[in-house]
Amino acid sequence: MSDTCIFCKIARGEIPCRKVYEDDELLAFHDINPVAPVHFMMVPKFHLPSLMEAEEAHAALLGRMLLLAPKLAKELGLENGFRTVINTGKGGGQEVFHLHIHIIGGGNIPPMVKRS
Ligand code: 5GP
Ligand code: ZN
């Protein structure tokens, strides 16, 4: 756990969130600034800054996160599909340094990378 990390604070219940799912290891909650009609994220409850710091010991948890994503997405009405985004490090545009998977869908989802 980190004293200053905003997602640790959300995981500890110190900052409110619109919860989608919670178990012993994981928390999912709606993004405060959504980019699509449905935009939530899934985080481990313990502090792991990014995929860069993930190790073999985290393999099962990361697998659980990927398997849970479609279940939660369907519960929120994204039967047709959704986008998952994991920004990693400053080079990947990450702003909150606590590993999270964005799950985004509904409306018009543009191509991920614009080609000119
Ligand atoms: P990143 O750029 O690190 O992948 O994404 C960080 C995300 O966290 C952004 O989409 C931002 O809107 C979201 N976010 C930042 N602070 C909060 C907060 O306090 N509550 C919630 N629910 N989302 C937040
Ligand atoms: Zn954290």
Tokens of 58: 């985290």
Residue 1 has pLDDT above 90, yes or no: no
Give the whole-angstrom CA distance, residue 109 versus residue 107.
6
Question: What residues does 85 pair with on adjacent strands?
Answer: 102
Average pLDDT of the residues in 41-51:
98
Amino acid at 59: A
> Per-residue pLDDT for 114 more than 90?
no
Environment class of 49 (CB within 10 Å of its CB; exposed 0-12, middle 13-18, buried 19+):
middle
Residue 95: CB within 6 Å of ligand 1? Answer: yes
Known catalytic residue at 47? no
CA–CA separation, 65 and 23 (whole Å): 11
Position 87 scores a pLDDT of 98
pLDDT tens figures, 19-42: 999 999 999 999 999 999 999 999
Is the shortest distance between the CB of 29 and ligand 1 below 6 Å? yes
| φ and ψ of 101, to 5 deg | -105, 120
Structure-token pair, residue 14: 């110190």
Question: Residue holding tokens 């290891």?
Answer: 25
> What is the predicted pLDDT for the residue at 112?
80
Mean per-residue pLDDT over the chain, rounded: 96
Residue tagged 């449905």 (tokens) = 38
DSSP, res 80 = T
Residues 6+ apart with CB under 8 A from 57: none
Distance, CA 37 to ligand 1 centroid (Å)?
15
**Atom number in ligand 1 closest to CA 93:** 2
Give the pairing type, strands 26-30 and 19-22: antiparallel
Question: Architecture of 6-105 per CATH?
Answer: 2-Layer Sandwich (3.30)
